[in-house]
Amino acid sequence: MDAVGDVQRVLVLGGTSEIGLAVLRRLAGRRRPAAVLAGRPTDRLDAVAAELRAEGHDVDLVHFDAEDRRTWAPAVEKAFAGGDVDVVVVAFGILGDAERAWQDPDDAAALATVNYTAPVTMGVDVAARLRTQGHGALVVLSSVAGQRPRRSNFAYGSTKAGLDAFYTGLREALRPEGIRVVVVRPGFVRTKMTQGMPAAPLAVDADRVAEAAVSGLRSGREVVWAPPPMRYVAFVLRLLPAPLFRRLPV
C-alpha cells in the first residue's frame, strides 16, 4: 500500500468475474489501483480491460485457462513480473450441470479441476510469491454451498468445501509471515452465471458481496458471509439431522 494506505496493485484470477471486478472497484481509494486481469483470451476480457482503463486503472492482461494446467504457473509468473501485488482475488469457477456432474466422469473432472485443483495449485504459487515480497492479501470466493452440500448441487458444493478448507488452512500457514487470507462465503449471487435460475432466499448481487469482502479485508476479519445472516443459516443447516436435511426444498 502507498503512504496513505491505498492498495496499489490487484491481481484478479478470473478476470471477467463480476464479483472479482466489483472487489477491484471497491478497493479503489484516493487512487485507482493497477489491475492485472487473468483469464481466458476472449472479447469479454478485452472489453473489461477497456472499461477499467476508461475508469482510470492501469490494466495488464494475463491469459490462462483454468482447465489447462500448462497455463497456470506461467500466468502467475507473468502477473507478478510487473511488480509487487497487494491483493490477489481468487474469483474463477463454474457451476456446471448438477446432474451430469455426478454421472459423467468428464463433467465431474472439469468441475473439480476448475473449482478446486486450479485455485489450489495457483494458490500455492501465489502464496510463495507473496511470502517472497513480504506482504499481501488473498481474497478467496468460496460459497455457502460448501458448508453442507445438498442433493441438488453436491458435486459443486464438494468443490467449494475443499476450496474453503484449503484456504482456511493456508491462512493459518501464512499468518506468522503477515500474509492475510480472507475467505468469502456468499449465498446465492445474482450474476450472469446464475441468470435464469430461481433466486434463493437472501440472494445478493455482486456488488453486495464485494462490499462485504472489502469491508472484511479492511477490518481484519478472516471469514466473510454475504449477506451476514448467511452465517446463521449455515450454522443451522450443519446441525440438522440427516432425515430433516433431506426434506428441505431442493
Active site residues: 156
Which cell goes with 111? 468441475
| Closest CA relative to residue 77, chosen from 113, 125, 117 | 125
208-239 burial code (b ≥16 CB/10 A, e <16): bbbbbbbebbeeebeebbbeeebeebbeeeee
The count of C-alpha atoms lying within 13 angstroms of the C-alpha of 179, restricted to the half-sphere facing its C-beta, is: 28
CA distance 176 to 134: 11
CA distance 141 to 109: 20
